[in-house]
């Protein structure tokens, strides 16, 4: 249920979000997500042909300090290009949050760059906290996602998750039910 399986694209250390995953300064319209423009700039600073090579279900593996200086546009660019998860040596909290909020999980997992390289097949379990290389058979552990995060991920991001939770809380007896504060 919480397992993600895919083909790896591996990158090195210090890949920023705004000047690595995408080029934020080149985003034409900040008021909305310009999906074709975002997809066309995905990782091209590191691999000019990346937008043509990436496939539905792929997984990004990255080194230390992945995704620093981020806007959610980087997450939308990856999600819309078919990427299902990012797993990296280290990242910052804001990046995990912003990218999960558009429906894409980011997992810090020290040792991952030694476990997986471009072209490998990888399987990660967000709830179980394990990642396994289907190519080498080796595996690593990471901090499992808690239930609140799994919910945001499985419902496709912050806005749909909030809708679902508010609807549940408005039911009689819920925290937002009319009678609770009447």
Partner 1 sequence: MRRVKRRSRLAPAREARGAADREVRRRLAMGQTITQKIVARAAGLERVEPGQYVNVSPDYTCCQDISWPARKRIMEEAGVERLARPDRLVMVVDHTTSAGMGTVYHRNHGEMRRFAEATGANYYGPGSGLRHQVLVEEGFARPGLLVFTDEPNIASIGVVGAMNLAISTEVVVTSVLNENWMMVPRPVRITLTGALSPGASIRDLAQILIRDYAQTDILSQACVQYDGPGVATLSLDERQSLLACTYHAGADTALMPVDASALSYARARAGGRDFELFADDPDAAFDHEAVYDLSAIEPMVTVPPELFGAVGVGAVSGRRIDQAAIASCASARMDDLREAASILRGRRVAPHVTMYVTPASREIYAEAGREGLLSIFAEAGATVLAPGCTTCWGYEGYLNDGEVSVSTHQMNYNGRNGSRTASVYLAGPALVAASAVAGCITDPRDLLAIEGRAA
Closer residue to partner 1 in complex, CB, 134/149:
149
Whole-number minimum distance, CB 32 to partner 1, in Å?
12
Whole-number minimum distance, CB 93 to partner 1, in Å?
5
- The residues binding partner 1 (CB under 8 A) are 64-65, 90-94, 96-98, 101, 108, 127-130, 139-149, 152, 158-159, 162-163, 165-167, 169-170, 175-176, 178, 181
| Helix residue spans in the chain (DSSP H) | 35-40, 50-53, 72-80, 93-100, 112-115, 147-154, 158-169
C-alpha separations of 77 from 18, 24, 74, 130 in Å? 11, 11, 5, 26
Closer residue to partner 1 in complex, CB, 19/40:
19
Closer residue to partner 1 in complex, CB, 7/64:
64
| H/E segment holding residue 7 | strand 3-10
């Amino acid at each position: 249920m919480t397992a993600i399986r895919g083909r790896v694209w591996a990158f090195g250390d210090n890949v920023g979000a705004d000047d690595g995953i995408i080029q934020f300064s080149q985003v034409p319209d900040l008021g909305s997500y310009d999906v074709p423009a975002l997809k066309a700039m995905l990782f091209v600073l590191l691999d000019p042909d990346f937008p043509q090579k990436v496939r539905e279900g792929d997984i990004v593996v990255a080194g230390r300090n992945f995704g620093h200086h981020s806007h959610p546009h980087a997450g939308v660019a990856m999600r819309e290009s078919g990427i299902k998860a990012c797993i990296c040596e280290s990242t910052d909290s804001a990046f995990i949050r912003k990218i999960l909020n558009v429906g894409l999980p980011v997992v810090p997992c020290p040792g991952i760059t030694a476990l997986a390289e471009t072209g490998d097949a990888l399987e990660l379990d967000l709830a179980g906290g394990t990642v396994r290389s289907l190519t080498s058979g080796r595996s690593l552990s990471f901090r499992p996602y808690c239930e609140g995060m799994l919910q945001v991920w499985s419902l496709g991001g912050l806005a749909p998750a909030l809708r679902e939770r508010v609807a549940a809380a408005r039911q009689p007896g819920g925290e937002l039910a009319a009678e609770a504060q009447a």
